[in-house]
Structure 1
């Protein structure tokens, strides 16, 4: 942690900031940020935490005056280095952006210019804010890419964003933000949807650069683990207001606002494995219908009459801790300590539903005028799995390791190159389409992005009926309508949702629709591809509770593809760790997560940020995941492994058993 700040270190002072969005043609402006105030000092990180739609990103964009066309700053003061940014001209703001304050945007794929090379985009910042030109620009851009840990940095300067992975694009965004040597960095969800290893590298990079330059940082996130690792102070936002602010230690040991309590209670962890996660009923109120009193009142378990009538003011609890709640004194501080270890009871034998043996998916690499095959991308290279009825098998690993490809190949959404897949004793590989079609009813998939996988031109009712009609389930008319109503009830949606379109629902509701569509054909096996990766913790808890209850009531088997180990710990019975197209460790959740044997599994688990005061050391992996088009000789993990020996470089390890269920491919396990 950084040393305590002095008053003369004050870098940013925000007072009563208000902004909104113009709605319709009548000139009405809906307030999205309402009276936000905070201070930020040099070398300090302040985290703004809260659900989607609570105003975190709108606050950040207001500071830089980068609002969309409908955005309006309605009032307040933003004092940065002695200047009120809200009163500067646009020309004056251009010198502040990049040089004084810089921002890492949430989605680098849409923030980077697709028609400019990486070097050109970094060069623009250097020319504008550092006054460099010619060879000095290229030299400094190269230094920045090397500083953010991008491999083969010289080659990357001439590449375009589409040639980079998500982690690489995020590093380029960081390099661009740091090119102007800003005094304040705004990081908006800088690690959302990144693997835990890449996330750990980026967080370490930001913290190291911050310590080196005494740079202030405003960190916007909904990930409590990232907050625990990075922040000195935390501000909790809800419906456009900050409702609690505290130093990191107090925030994680004694939060006082009911909303903060609920966010902690919604986190999946091993201690909650045998029960349903706590959820926050309802949603963040829309901008057009903000309550007159406390904005959390409709969702709060401690609500009383005065909460609905009068907005609570600030109460200073001492030590930099303040809260906005009428009843904070009556609510015991929520202590979050070590959750302990809940051991799952011994598994009861269940009949095998899915058996995968030596599954391969190799994509040909074609070059030249005649498009000759010159090699193969070995996306999945000999995967074997077994999943019983009513059980959940989690498939984990970094992006690009082949998890999603394996899931799609099992369902024959991608044609396997080799191996076999048996569903309920019947071989799927090699079946002609006509023979495979009736088996589609038994196996379904929930995709990562429900908005992209739902037809925007169909109503929810039509989406649910489509699969039933295609597989001839139930009669058309009243019987099918009744079945659709039952499905909506099963996933916690109102009956009138059947007549609405996907764009009318929130992200969590759309995921429920995607799950209902899968359930419509009454499957035995569901492949879930990162179904909660982009959801807030409260919505994630609702979806996990739903999946768990459906499994218990319907006996469903889940192949759960994810990189979130907290979700694995809570939901799964078994886990398989995948690296470069192969399974390197498998076993029961307690065996793999509590006593990992493979160095790769150990590194993944060490990189998971814990939502508490847990400063565990992170195992640093050298380099990046090799290309599946050119996997290393011997053990595929040996170029990054701290334990690699000559044997690892020349020979792929055989599988070793440490119990009936726990098996590892490692020479030194």
Structure 2
């Protein structure tokens, strides 16, 4: 079978300071019809730049320096731009990483699909509308007639991603480039998107270039895999061989950085340093400065390709000099022994006790903005958290996790009870609450958005210390700042730099340092590892675990990443539509989930080891609106085991083996 896409020695870069810095350096691969080729690697490795170069969509500073790109037997880098516009969307289309910024906010979804239909298929008017409805139906959007007239801000994250796929499919492309199509989506929505792409690919015999840093997504979707590092592909293999026998030291390190329950109490393997900048590419092998088995030859000479098995190739001097057919594995990090603090968990008293917490936002309509209803974002949540322990709050987007975390810190108005070390917070006036803010802080999901771009790192961290009167003199604060940066693994000179000068993982460390600056006892961590590479995620998790052991911090950890929950959390609470449906010790809940929703969430997690793939429980539709929650059990419209009682009556709590509390009519109430 001839290749649909053939990339040969592609080189591309960006103009900076009068010279072109190479970001994609000699990349070659091919994609056959109906095949998915996954391009895997850390942020900054050149994956997205490769995709943009293929379609000649690089920004103004981008330059294609050489190579060939053959699409359906035609060399498209040599085409004039007018001809290239005809190929984009028809021969090849792209799903961009962030649909919220890729969709036009001032055009309806129907108008945006219609533009592609008119450009590539000459369809207008009623014919275009019918085809747009068919596309929205094909990508699984309910009520497509209504959604066609809506704007992107009216759609959830999953629906925006589906709309982006519909726009990409409007031109009936033979090649689909999907750039991180599931980044930061819930596991259930991620599973739906991956299933959708697989179905559409099978129906249309499309080739797909899948760009991702998620090994679970690769295990679930790819036929072949290419690992990219610092602008070069360093390993290619069929999926089975890739997951059973990864050979390049970089690939093995990526696998070693994955957290799971078996590594609790142990230090996750990390890759020291970070991907080199475009202006500072090392000579020889580009991974050598971070490689534990690098030799002198690695630092001087760039490795060529070594063929291991059919279709499995690697660029590595260390692998090449090993015995043919031997399996090389890097030495594992020794497991850290459990700490004394962890052994004493059971005897601890509650630091945080939340009872029947409610956050209801009014819905106002009409000229006089009368309240006509409420959005019940958090609707009766009760939690307990002890010192030195981690409680994970998990669930789909829109279930109220972040709202609950902010309400606990009095960042949102709420009713119910929030007691910090026995003291009620919700009834306190602001002047009495301010001293308590030293004891509880938040690490926000997006560190770039939560760090003031106009302030240096030192000013950002010192701001909270000054407001809450931590350290009397400026000299004391400056000494504390340097110690804080050292504790989160950053050099002292970072104090004078600005947030944009740091990588995503470094910015998250800065956000953690800012929260720690006022010496808190409780940290609310809102998706602190969301969208981070596995290697950077491992660094942040190691840091959080170490800080908890040394400082006795309690974490309310908001996440949808169950691998992180398995590794870091002691207890877990599963949230659905503003309410807790199951909670208990993490080992018990994850090993034997009771609630159908918990089982569905766990089954949707893509397992980054082929042998561990679970049978998936598919949830129909999306989470209902908290403004109109269903009568009875809120989950019953999506539950395959729902009974008539579920439709009429909300279940009372039931205590199961191991201290797990579940709200489900399948389990008799206490």
| TM-score bucket (shorter structure) | over 0.9
In the alignment, does 2:363 pair up with 1:368? no
| 1:92 lines up with 2:92 in the alignment | no
Task: Provide the secondary structure at the position in 1 that maps to 2:4.
Answer: strand
Structure 1 position 506 matched with structure 2 position 499: no
- Shift of residue 188, structure 1, vs aligned partner: 0.2
- More deviation, 226-235/120-129: 120-129
Partner of 2:189: 198
Asked whether 1:21 is paired with 2:14, we answer yes
1:568 aligns with 2:565: yes
Query: What is the DSSP-based 3-state SS (H/G/I as helix, E as strand, rest coil) of the residue aligned with 1:9?
Result: coil
Q: Distance in 1 between matches of 2:73 and 2:137?
A: 34
Q: CA deviation at 1:131?
A: 2.1
Q: Give the CA deviation at 1:334.
A: 4.3
Q: Show CA shifts across 1:222-269 (max 9, x none).
A: 000000000010000000000000000000010110000110011111
Matches within 5 A, 1:517-556: 517-556=514-553
Equivalent in 437, 440, 456 of residue 440 of structure 1: 437
After superposition, the Cα gap between the structure-2 partners of 1:297 and 1:81, relative to the gap in structure 1 and judged at 3 Å, is same
Q: Alpha-carbon deviation of 1:335?
A: 10
Aligned to 1:210: 201
Once residues 583 and 345 of structure 1 are traced to their aligned partners in structure 2, the CA distance between those partners, rounded to angstroms, is 27
State the alpha-carbon separation in 2 of the partners of residues 659 and 530 from structure 1. Answer: 29
Question: Which stretch of structure 1 is more off in the superposition, 60-69 or 499-508?
Answer: 499-508
**Aligned equivalent of 1:607, options 601, 604, 612:** 604
1:3 corresponding residue in structure 2: none
What root-mean-square deviation, in Å, do the aligned CA atoms of Structure 1 and Structure 2 show?
1.5
* Residue in structure 2 matched with residue 38 of structure 1 by the alignment: 29
Distance 2:487 2:397 in 1: 32
**1:630-656: CA deviations, max 9, x gaps?**
100000000000000000000000000
1:489 aligns with 2:506: no
Quote the residue 1:464 is aligned against.
461
CA contact (8 A) 1:253 1:335 kept: no
> Which whole-Å CA distance do the structure 1 matches of 2:361 and 2:102 have between them?
30
- Matches of residues 108-257 of structure 1 in structure 2 within 5 Å? 108-257=99-248
Q: CA deviation at 1:160?
A: 0.8
Runs of 5+ in structure 2 lacking a partner?
Answer: 332-336
CA contact (8 A) 1:254 1:335 kept: no
Contact 1:34 1:240 in 2 (8 A): yes
Partner SS for 1:244 = strand
For residues 9 and 558 of structure 2, the distance between their equivalents in structure 1, rounded to whole angstroms, comes to 44
Runs of 4+ in 1 over 3 A off after TM superposition: 329-336, 342-347
Residues 277 and 142 (structure 1 numbering): CA distance in 2 closer, same or farther, change over 3 Å? same
Find the residue that maps to 1:407 and give its secondary structure: helix
> CA 1:346–1:584 in 2, change beyond 3 Å: closer, same or farther?
farther
- Structure 2 CA distance for aligned equivalents of residues 507 and 615 of structure 1: 30
Aligned counterparts, 1:416-427, within 5 A? 416=414, 418-427=415-424
**Displacement of 1:612:** 1.5
Q: Give matches, 1:651-666, under 5 Å.
A: 651-659=649-657, 661-666=659-664
- For 1:590 and 1:405, locate their aligned partners in 2 and report how far apart those are by CA, in whole Å: 26
Q: CA separation in 2, counterparts of 1:324 and 1:622? A: 44
- Counterpart CA distance in 2 for 1:419 and 1:650 is 25
Structure 1 residue 115, shift from structure 2 partner: 1.3
Secondary structure class of the residue paired with 1:348: helix
1:356-400 Cα shifts (integer Å, max 9, x gaps): 000000000011111110000000000000000000000000000
Show the 5 A alignment for 1:291-440: 291-329=282-320, 330=322, 332-334=327-329, 348-416=346-414, 418-440=415-437
Q: Does 1:646 align with 2:639?
A: no
CA distance in 2, matches of 1:455, 1:398: 29
Taking the aligned partners of 2:562 and 2:600, their CA distance within structure 1 comes to 12
- Give the structure 2 partner of residue 5 of structure 1: none
Distance in 1 between residues matched to 2:453 and 2:96, nearest whole Å: 27
- Give 1:346 shift: 9.5
Q: 2:334 matched to which residue of 1?
A: none
Number of equivalenced pairs: 654
Deviations 1:390-440 (A, max 9, x none): 000000000000000000000000010x21000001000111000100000
Question: 2:185 and 2:303 mapped to 1: Cα distance?
Answer: 38
What is residue 619 of structure 1 aligned with on the other side? 617
- The answer to whether the 8 Å contact 1:253/1:334 transfers is no
1:316 deviates by 1.0
Q: Secondary structure at the match of 1:93?
A: helix
In structure 1, distance between residues paired with 2:344 and 2:280: 50
Q: Please give the alpha-carbon distance, in whole angstroms, between the structure 1 residues aligned to 2:594 and 2:48.
A: 41
* 2:345–2:389 Cα contact (<8 Å) kept: no
Q: Secondary structure at the match of 1:590?
A: helix
Q: Secondary structure of the residue that 1:620 maps to in structure 2?
A: coil
Q: Distance in 2 between matches of 1:334 and 1:363?
A: 54
Q: Return the offset for 1:616.
A: 2.1
Q: What do residues 268-301 of structure 1 show as CA deviations (whole Å, max 9, x unaligned)? A: 1112112010110011111111112000000000
Provide the C-alpha distance between the structure 2 equivalents of 1:190 and 1:503, rounded to a whole number of angstroms.
Answer: 25
Is residue 585–residue 658 contact of structure 2 (8 Å, CA) maintained in 1?
Answer: no
Residues 238 and 312 in structure 2, CA contact (< 8 A), matched pair in contact too: yes
User: Hey, what does 1:339 align to over in structure 2?
Assistant: none
State the secondary structure of the residue aligned to 1:274: coil
Q: CA deviation at 1:478?
A: 2.1
Unpaired stretches in structure 1, ≥5 consecutive residues: 1-7, 337-341
Kept in 2: contact 1:187–1:218 (CA 8 A): yes
